[in-house]
Amino acid sequence: MSDTVHRNSRVQLRRAVLSSYLGSVIEYYDFLLYSTVSALVFNRVFFSELDPVVGTVASLGTFATGYLARPLGGVVFGHFGDRLGRKRMLVITMTMMGVVSTLIGLLPTYAQIGVWAPILLVVLRVLQGIAIGGEWGGAVLMSAEHATSRRGLWASFTNAGAPSGMVLSTVVLALVSGAVSEQQFIDWGWRIPFLLSALLLILGLFVRAKVDETPVFASARPKRSESLPLLEVLRHHPRNLLLAIGIGFGAFVVQATLTTFLLSYAVEAGFTRQTVLNVLAVSSVGAVLGIVGFSALSDRIGRRPVVIAGAIGMAVVSFILFPLIDTGSVVSLTVAVVLGQSVVHPAMYGPLAALYTEMFGTRTRYTGASLGYQVSATGAGLAPVVFASMSGGGVSSLAISALIAASCVITAVSIMATKESHRAELGERPDATDAPGEPAVQS
């Protein structure tokens, strides 16, 4: 009997990891596809009446609204995920993201319906943010709570879904962009990758339907008399929540800089759109390997040293990114993006999936992990807008690098204030007030 149970648990773990990875790939394909197109096209499609610089800032502003909506998705889906289960919420978030992205691909332009075009774009972007705000926490928990060992490795596949989704969206954009002229791409070509979301949605739902609810949640189902998960987090785990926000802040600022702001910066520096997309695809492949590798390393030596090393390394690298791009050399551009996205950033980002899971108890884990992660993600939404405004206003790239480095310092200080948790058990304990720096899951 025990052998059968063990085999079944291993099967469910593999299914959970595959489901979480594919779900994350699909969700981030849609979410990051928007970021790429907003940096390259939307200023000419939905903000065509504005000055080019102002149009770029406005376009990236719609990109930011998705990040600002993510904490709401984390709270809403986290609440029901902690009460009803992880799996149900993940089906809803995936469906929501696929439908919304398809609608973006069908959205009329400013020339067709005027001001309603950017308004509807913002509404759909907000819905995207709510969907992905609920997706990440549930996907991470499905893997982490099914795992009995190497939690950092298994949970990391959800985070690896972000650059994988970027690879997929970049490759699709590159194929479409290469198949049509510049004007055709702006007129209608950019819509094709969004419309493909409908096919990805079908695949994702098929895989996700085969995964059982996590055993950790099943053994600790909350009672109706218990307080709301959000209130429990705010009342008993405020320190862990604030630390989670601080830890992720720098990682997200860097992520958005490397995958969004540098796109428009490099194009303005003279690189072709196709060249930038190719470099981004290469660096994203490297990021997948880096995230999984550094997360596996964090299972052996701990989350703290890996994240600290990544944050310090990225603070240094931030000062060479823009000078390398300003050389106008494709080799230098590739070195800058690959060094940042494939080598250094994964160290500060990869272990966060397991770390956030370990910072909260089972009855509040979906809410706590999602809220901490998604609030910190607002840094990714605001960074490209702030940096584009600074660049358009004549501010030197050195000042932008200093802000990136400062965000990395916030991550380093926050993770240093957090107690090591890579050996903590995810079994439930009473949700009492956390001791300073103590993970909420130690038994």
Tokens read off for 242: 């604030």
pLDDT value at position 192?
Answer: 92
Buried b (16+ CB within 10 A) or exposed e, 90-123: bebbbebbbebbbbbbebebbeeeeeebbebbbe
Q: Are 144 and 7 in contact (CB under 8 A)?
A: no
Is residue 3 classed exposed, middle or buried when 0-12, 13-18 and 19+ CB atoms within 10 A define those classes? exposed
pLDDT value at position 443?
Answer: 31
**Residue 377 DSSP class:** T
Q: Are 230 and 371 in contact (CB under 8 A)?
A: yes
Band (pLDDT 50/70/90 cuts) for residue 309 is very high
The mean pLDDT of 60-85, rounded to a whole number, is: 83
345 Cβ partners below 8 Å, 6+ apart? Answer: 251, 254, 255, 258, 287, 290, 310, 314
Q: Are 395 and 224 in contact (CB under 8 A)?
A: no
Give, in order, the Cα–Cα distances in Å from 314 to each of 40, 187, 337: 26, 38, 12
Band (pLDDT 50/70/90 cuts) for residue 97 is confident
pTM (two decimals):
0.82
Tokens read off for 10: 């291993």
- Amino acid at residue number 102: T
Give, in order, the Cα–Cα distances in Å from 306 to each of 243, 301, 318, 420, 428: 16, 8, 18, 11, 26
- 128 pLDDT higher than 90: no
CA angle, 183 then 184 then 185, to 5°: 90
Element (H, E) at 40: helix 2-40
Q: H helices of 257-377, where? A: 262-268, 273-301, 303-326, 330-338, 345-349, 352-358, 365-376
CA distance 384 to 259: 10
Q: H helices of 180-272, where? A: 182-184, 191-195, 197-208, 215-218, 229-236, 238-256, 262-268
CA distance 130 to 261: 22
Over the stretch 363-414, which tens digit does the pLDDT of each residue have?
Answer: 889 999 999 999 998 888 788 888 888 888 888 899 999 999 999 999 999 9
CA distance 226 to 428: 15
**Residue 67 DSSP class:** H
**Residue 160 DSSP class:** H
65 Cβ partners below 8 Å, 6+ apart? Answer: 122, 125, 126, 129, 381
Q: Are 104 and 121 in contact (CB under 8 A)?
A: yes
Tokens read off for 76: 């809403």
Band (pLDDT 50/70/90 cuts) for residue 437 is very low
Over the stretch 190-199, which tens digit does the pLDDT of each residue have?
Answer: 899 989 888 8
- Number of helices (H) and strands (E) in the chain: give both, helices first: 22, 0
3-state secondary structure 391-424: HHCCCCHHHHHHHHHHHHHHHHHHHHCCCCCCCC
Band (pLDDT 50/70/90 cuts) for residue 223 is low
Closest of 400, 261, 260, 262 to residue 319, by C-alpha:
400
**Residue 360 DSSP class:** S
Over the stretch 250-308, which tens digit does the pLDDT of each residue have?
Answer: 999 998 898 888 878 898 889 987 888 889 889 989 999 999 999 999 999 999 999 99
The phi, psi pair for 426, rounded to 5°, reads -90, 5
pLDDT value at position 434?
Answer: 47
Closest of 352, 353, 364 to residue 233, by C-alpha:
364
pLDDT value at position 22?
Answer: 86
Tokens read off for 244: 């989670």
What domains sit in the chain, N to C, each tagged with a CATH number? Answer: 2-215+228-416 (1.20.1250.20)
- 349 pLDDT higher than 90: yes
Tokens read off for 427: 């079994």
Q: Highest-confidence range of 232-236, 281-285, 331-335, 420-424, by mean pLDDT?
A: 331-335
CA distance 118 to 60: 12
Closest of 341, 201, 181, 180 to residue 257, by C-alpha:
341
The mean pLDDT of 26-40, rounded to a whole number, is: 77
